């Protein structure tokens, strides 16, 4: 809070220094007390030596730096034995040594010394009220009073020091709730040190030779504290690159978001953005050059990431070849561009040149938590990789895994499981011969009317289901619906071929091919009246692997159509060894052929090549009469699109066919 009001924080430090000075001035009489005592100087030397062993530790989720040094047990023992002034002076010297070792400013050392002096002053007041000399040689009833005085003095020291430390941390910008956690840990550490002070005071009174023995347990405590800090650092750090790991990234998020919430009347800080980058073709480097070279590449990439101010973010390696940068920035896209520029220069590893590229996903925190932010950045990164772009920013519309879409997928699955024939249906779009005008076939298209959301776009729901077991369930239902419908049309005298779409996942499922054969036999329909449509990209992903399943389908007598032809940049010569009966020219070429010479040339050459290979051609997306005539002139076989008819419910098709035949006859 005070970090936004710098004068108030400065005033707090000035008051701390002034208070410490006032306390010292009131105890000048202690300055020379017992100055010649050997035990006193041994205690001073030990306190200073303890200061040389100080180190900075990180406490709490915010990773706040605090100083760990066991000087307090010696200076509090000096207070118990020789008074406030010697204790405060020794602590000031120790603070100077600590500041020198940890490279702190003189002003920071002065404020720390003042804080200790005020805490020692509070303890001195309690000792004076309870017993001016709790370690005098007597016995009887004063033992309880002495012990109570020492305990109360320790509590007073902790209370004053804790309050001053809290004020300092809040003044540095740490929210008070988080500051309380840090102060709690600091108070616990100092409590353990204060417990040793009475033992040291007694040792100084009995035999000064016992004092150095205190170093042994203190060194052990210091060592354990250092090891604990190192273990915590290792737990948050990637051992290969030295960057933060996923745990460290989460801690940085807590520090930036949870640790600095927006407050009424205060301008909220810029919410952090997360960049997730995945190296392209890293597996090829590992496979070709070995994992040692791959590790060297990862280290080189880590060194090329933009530097991040620890107060504003962190760079991390999430695992494998995936890195992340979390940062408060007004321009996350600019930071992503800086990442891409940094990786553009080739890396030379053992004389080999390795070109590095990466796909970067960018997401800005929306207040839903770390895991949501990380998922959004992952979604954006995969979107960039899929589009072939270097950078992509998270867009909810392209997120197939948001909670709302997962709920939608769950609803769709339930509709498939109960076989909801009212809301989940197949509509059919006619395919008309361009030479005769006769309707030769139809394509089955999914239609789903959600009970709450209404009609759902079929492309959206298929994209959600495509890489899940739901896709297999959908294909089974469509096979059931289409084969049953073809049988009904045959009984009504309508001999139509019906096409249905199948995904790559379905293509390699033995069960689905068996299911298709079983439904065709069950309904006693000619296999040639059922056609399977597969996208060009699905087959081109692995032509050799696709040959077996496609041959099994063709052996059933079922014809195969290659959908969206042209988008995969393949040629029919490449696919001629596959049992393809029909290709469907992608609508992006059909829509442009009336006004784009290149599109028209692509469509004409595709039709000619297909005819030479005795493959039927279908033009999808025909929406105007001019395109219809151009396709007929190019000798395309079938046309499908709104120019002829939209997809319709199966019970509407007979009436539409009658009207269509009447128009054709007229």
- Taking residue 453's Cβ as centre, other Cβ atoms within 10 Å add up to 11
Angle between helices 176-206 and 71-82 (to 10 degrees): 50
Give the pLDDT mean for 168-194: 74
Task: Return the structure tokens found at 159.
Answer: 């209370």
The CA–CA distances, whole Å, from 423 to 209, 449, 472 equal 91, 5, 19
559-565/582-585 β-pairing: parallel
| pLDDT single digits (tens) 609-620 | 888 888 999 999
| pLDDT single digits (tens) 219-235 | 666 666 565 555 655 66
Query: Same structural domain for residues 378 and 418?
Result: no
| pLDDT single digits (tens) 519-541 | 999 999 999 999 999 887 667 66
Residue 86 CA to its chain's centroid (Å)? 54
Which of the four pLDDT bands, split at 50, 70 and 90, describes residue 427? very high
In the chain, % of residues over pLDDT 70? 82
Query: Same structural domain for residues 531 and 410?
Result: yes
Q: Is the pLDDT reported for residue 135 higher than 70?
A: no
Domain stops at, among 352, 367, 398: 398
Give the whole-angstrom CA distance, residue 323 versus residue 316: 6
Domain stops at, among 398, 431, 447: 398
Query: Same structural domain for residues 450 and 547?
Result: yes
Residue 364 included in any domain: yes
Query: Same structural domain for residues 162 and 24?
Result: yes
Query: Same structural domain for residues 44 and 164?
Result: yes
Residue 141 sits in a domain whose CATH number is 1.10.1760.20
Q: Can you name the residues that pair with 358 across neighbouring β-strands?
A: 279
Which of the four pLDDT bands, split at 50, 70 and 90, describes residue 496? very high
Query: Same structural domain for residues 495 and 643?
Result: yes
Q: Is the pLDDT reported for residue 472 higher than 50?
A: yes
Least confident span in 306-310, 541-545, 622-626? 541-545
Domain stops at, among 352, 380, 398: 398
Give the whole-angstrom CA distance, residue 70 versus residue 32: 25
When comparing pLDDT for 33 and 250, which is higher?
Answer: 250
| pLDDT single digits (tens) 435-452 | 999 999 999 999 999 888
Report which of 326, 320, 413, 310 is spatially closest to residue 376, judged by C-alpha positions.
326
pLDDT value at residue 164: 83
Prediction pTM value: 0.52
Element (H, E) at 66: strand 64-68
Residue 394 sits in a domain whose CATH number is 3.30.70.270
Residue 228 included in any domain: no
Tokens 């007929």 map to which residue?
A: 632
Least confident span in 35-39, 277-281, 412-416, 474-478? 35-39
Query: Same structural domain for residues 524 and 576?
Result: yes
Query: Same structural domain for residues 521 and 423?
Result: yes
The CA–CA distances, whole Å, from 573 to 239, 427, 442, 445, 613 equal 52, 34, 27, 30, 9
What SS3 string covers 455-466?
EECHHHHHHHHC
DSSP codes, 207-255: -GGGGGGGHHHHHHHHHHHHHHHHHHHHHTB-TTT-SB-HHHHHHHHII
In the chain, % of residues over pLDDT 90? 21
Residue 220 included in any domain: no
Residue 658 sits in a domain whose CATH number is 3.20.20.450
Task: Give the chain's domain count.
Answer: 3
Angle between helices 282-289 and 291-304 (to 10 degrees): 140
Residue 234 included in any domain: no
At 382, phi and psi to the nearest 5? -70, -30
Q: Where are the alpha helices (DSSP H) in 244-369?
A: 246-253, 282-289, 291-304, 332-344
Burial 222-246 (b: 16+ CB within 10 A, else e): beebeeebeebeeebbbeebebbbb
Q: Can you name the residues that pair with 67 across neighbouring β-strands?
A: 56
- Taking residue 602's Cβ as centre, other Cβ atoms within 10 Å add up to 19
Report which of 236, 227, 331 is spatially closest to residue 275, judged by C-alpha positions.
331
Residue 312 included in any domain: yes
Are 47 and 74 spatial neighbours (Cβ–Cβ below 8 Å)? yes
Give the whole-angstrom CA distance, residue 611 versus residue 93: 96
pLDDT value at residue 62: 47
Residue 236 included in any domain: no
Query: Same structural domain for residues 293 and 161?
Result: no
Give the whole-angstrom CA distance, residue 91 versus residue 71: 7
Q: Name every residue whose Cβ is closer than 8 Å to that of residue 263 and which is 6 or more positions away in sequence.
A: none
Residue 217 included in any domain: no
Q: Name every residue whose Cβ is closer than 8 Å to that of residue 227 and which is 6 or more positions away in sequence.
A: none
| pLDDT single digits (tens) 336-354 | 999 988 888 888 877 778 7
Query: Same structural domain for residues 390 and 418?
Result: no
With H, G, I as helix, E, B as strand and everything else as coil, classify residue 634. coil
Which of the four pLDDT bands, split at 50, 70 and 90, describes residue 558? very high
DSSP codes, 532-593: EEEEHHHHHTTHHHHHHHHHHHHHTT-EEEEEEETTT---HHHHTTS---EEEE-HHHHHHT
Domain ranges, residue 13? 2-211
- Helix then strand then coil, in percent of the chain rounded to 5, is 60, 15, 25
Report which of 326, 332, 296 is spatially closest to residue 313, judged by C-alpha positions.
326
With H, G, I as helix, E, B as strand and everything else as coil, classify residue 600. helix
| pLDDT single digits (tens) 76-115 | 888 888 888 888 888 888 888 888 887 788 888 888 888 8
Residue 257 included in any domain: no
Q: Is the pLDDT reported for residue 368 higher than 50?
A: yes
Least confident span in 42-46, 240-244, 265-269? 265-269
Query: Same structural domain for residues 394 and 409?
Result: no
Query: Same structural domain for residues 44 and 100?
Result: yes
- Taking residue 280's Cβ as centre, other Cβ atoms within 10 Å add up to 17
Mean pLDDT of the chain: 81
């Amino acid at each position: 809070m005070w970090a936004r009001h710098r004068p108030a924080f400065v005033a707090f430090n000035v008051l701390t220094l002034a208070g410490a000075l006032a306390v010292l001035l009131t105890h000048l009489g202690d300055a020379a007390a017992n100055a010649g005592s050997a035990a006193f100087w041994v205690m001073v030397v030990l306190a200073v030596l303890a200061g040389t062993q100080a180190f900075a530790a990180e406490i709490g989720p915010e990773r706040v730096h605090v100083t760990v040094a066991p000087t307090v047990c010696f200076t509090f023992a000096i207070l118990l034995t020789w008074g406030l002034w010697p204790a405060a002076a020794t602590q000031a010297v120790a603070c100077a040594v600590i500041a020198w070792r940890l490279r702190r400013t003189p002003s920071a050392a002065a404020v720390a010394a003042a804080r200790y002096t005020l805490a020692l002053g509070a303890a001195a007041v309690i000792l004076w009220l309870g017993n001016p000399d709790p370690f005098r040689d007597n016995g009887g009833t004063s033992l309880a009073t002495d012990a109570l005085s020492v305990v109360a003095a320790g509590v007073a020291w902790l209370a004053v020091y804790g309050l001053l430390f809290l004020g300092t941390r809040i003044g540095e910008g740490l929210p008070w709730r988080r500051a309380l956690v840090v102060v709690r840990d600091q108070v616990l550490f100092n409590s353990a040190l204060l417990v040793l002070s009475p033992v040291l005071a007694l040792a100084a009174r009995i035999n000064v030779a016992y004092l150095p023995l205190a170093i042994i347990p203190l060194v052990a405590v210091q060592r354990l504290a250092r090891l604990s800090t190192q273990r915590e650092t290792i737990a948050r750090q990637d051992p290969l690159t030295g960057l933060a790991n996923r745990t460290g990234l989460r801690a940085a998020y807590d520090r930036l978001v949870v640790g600095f919430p927006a407050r009424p009347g205060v301008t909220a800080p810029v919410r952090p953005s997360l960049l997730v980058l995945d190296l392209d073709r890293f597996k090829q480097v590992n496979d070709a050059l070995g994992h040692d070279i791959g590790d060297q590449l990862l280290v080189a990439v880590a060194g090329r990431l933009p530097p991040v101010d620890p107060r504003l973010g962190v760079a991390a390696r999430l695992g494998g070849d995936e890195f992340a940068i979390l940062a408060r920035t007004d321009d996350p896209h600019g930071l992503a561009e800086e990442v891409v520029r940094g990786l553009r220069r080739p890396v030379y590893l053992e004389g080999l040149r390795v070109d590095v590229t990466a796909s970067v996903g960018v997401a800005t925190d929306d207040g839903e938590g770390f895991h949501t932010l990380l998922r959004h950045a992952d979604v954006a990164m995969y979107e960039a990789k899929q589009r072939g772009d270097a950078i992509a920013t998270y867009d909810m519309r392209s997120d197939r895994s948001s909670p709302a879409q997962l709920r939608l997928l769950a609803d769709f699955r339930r509709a498939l499981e109960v076989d909801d024939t009212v809301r989940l249906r197949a509509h059919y779009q006619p395919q008309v011969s361009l030479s005769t005008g006769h309707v030769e076939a139809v394509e089955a298209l999914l239609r789903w009317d959600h009970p709450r959301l209404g009609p759902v776009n079929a492309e959206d729901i298929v994209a959600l289901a495509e890489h899940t077991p739901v896709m297999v369930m959908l294909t089974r239902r469509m096979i059931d619906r289409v084969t049953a419908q073809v049988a009904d049309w045959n009984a009504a005298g309508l001999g139509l071929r019906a096409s249905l779409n199948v995904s790559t996942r379905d293509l390699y499922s033995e069960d689905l091919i068996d299911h298709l054969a079983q439904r065709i036999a069950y309904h006693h329909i000619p296999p040639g009246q059922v056609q399977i449509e597969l996208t060009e990209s699905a087959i081109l992903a692995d032509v050799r692997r696709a040959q077996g399943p496609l041959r099994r389908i063709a052996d059933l007598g079922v014809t195969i159509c290659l959908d969206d032809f042209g988008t995969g940049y393949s040629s029919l010569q490449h696919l001629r060894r596959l049992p393809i009966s029909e290709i469907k020219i992608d609508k992006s070429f059909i829509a442009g052929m009336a006004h784009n010479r290149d599109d028209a040339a692509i469509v004409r050459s595709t039709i000619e090549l297909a005819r030479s290979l005795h493959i039927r051609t279908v033009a999808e997306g025909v929406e105007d009469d001019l395109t219809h005539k151009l396709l007929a002139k190019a000798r395309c076989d079938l046309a499908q699109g709104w120019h002829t008819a939209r997809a319709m419910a199966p019970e509407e098709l007979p009436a539409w066919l009658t009207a269509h035949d009447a128009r054709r006859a007229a």
